Amino acid sequence: MIVPEAVVNDQPRLPWSSWSVWSSWRARRTASALDRIVRGQLPLVRRLDQPGARRAADYLAELVLLAQAYRNFADGWIDRTELDRRGRRCLARIEELREQPGSPPLTPWTRLGPLI
């Protein structure tokens, strides 16, 4: 059995503690929310022109990777430090995508209207 390496206030937590159950539940809920965001954006990506669709797909791919990291944390495959590292890497990649010239990222102000 793989056990998450969780430490709070320099005290290791056991996998069956209420803390790890709560963290796992929150991580799964966050992954589910990210999945819903991606699912909601897919129909809009199909309506974009090729460069815009490619760029939007890159953004959504980063969100999919982040959701997978949260699921890995919930399953105990990675610890909080690794989850934090993957989250920071995701945000850095999204910032890189925003700085690239080309079509603007999907926002409520695109020609498609609000994304909500």
pLDDT truncated to tens, each residue of the chain (116 aa)?
Answer: 444 455 545 555 545 556 577 888 899 999 999 999 999 998 888 888 888 888 889 999 999 999 999 999 998 888 899 999 999 999 999 899 888 776 555 554 444 444 44
Cβ–Cβ < 8 Å for 41, 106: yes
**What Å distances lie between residue 4 and 11, 41, 67, 69, 89, CA to CA?**
13, 32, 17, 13, 21
**Residue 42 and residue 38: Cα distance in Å, rounded?**
6
List pLDDT tens digits, range 26-51: 999 999 999 999 999 988 888 888 88
Which parts of 47-106 fold into alpha helices (H)?
50-74, 80-99
φ, ψ for residue 11 (rounded to 5)? -115, 120
Contacts of 16 (CB under 8 A, 6+ apart): none
Neighbouring-strand partners of residue 11: 8
Give the model's pLDDT for residue 97. Answer: 87
Give the model's pLDDT for residue 112. Answer: 47
At CB < 8 A and 24+ separation, what contacts does 61-65 make?
62/90, 62/93, 62/94, 62/97, 63/34, 63/37, 63/38, 63/90, 64/34, 64/35, 64/38, 65/90
φ, ψ for residue 115 (rounded to 5)? -95, 0
Q: What is the pTM of this model?
A: 0.70
Give the model's pLDDT for residue 17. Answer: 57
